[in-house]
Amino acid sequence: MKYPWASNNSKAKEKEKFGYFQAEEELIKKIKENVGINGCRHPATFLVEAADDIAYLTADIEDAVKKGVFDWETEYQKMKTEFEKKYPNLFEKLETYRKEALNNQDTDKNLIDVQNFKVRVQGIVFGEVVGAFN
């Protein structure tokens, strides 16, 4: 539960967000007792929140490419120059995918490239977040 307070709680009013309705109070009380969170957020909620942020951020990059907000090839080359030494496996795999897209004569190579980038980068960043909790 991302927000461990009821809809009638002052935090809900202040932040305009809540985790459950007042009618569910008894059920939530039992869950809190069994899980041991005592009104605090469960640590897993931070992982879920990070996963949401990562998913939305990478989707925004894909949307920007679809809408032509920036040139994907230019941005990809900048990232490759800066990060290839740190993430050689990432760029090796991405280059393989890029060649496949060219060989298949895909109509929207940039979109395929950014989608492959998005999926691979999500995996790396998710791994980093999980590692921070270990």
Do 67 and 30 lie in one domain? The reply is no
Alpha-carbon distance values, 100 to 35, 39, 56, 116 (Å): 48, 51, 27, 11
Residue 97 sits in the same domain as residue 112: yes
- Considering the domain architecture, whether residues 25 and 91 belong to the same structural domain is answered as no
Pair (32, 47) in one structural domain: no
Are 61 and 82 found together in one domain?
A: yes
Place of tokens 């980038």: 117
Whether residue 47 sits in one domain with residue 33: no
Provide the residue type at 33 as one letter.
Answer: E
Distance CA(40)–CA(112), nearest Å, equals: 42
Q: Do 80 and 62 share a domain, yes or no? A: yes
The predicted pLDDT at position 108 comes to: 87
pLDDT of residue 99: 92
Structural domain containing residue 78: 43-133
| Domain count of the fold of the chain | 2
List average pLDDT for each run of 10 residues in the chain, which is 134 residues long: 85 84 92 82 85 94 94 95 95 94 85 94 92 83
Is 0.85 topped by the overall pTM? no
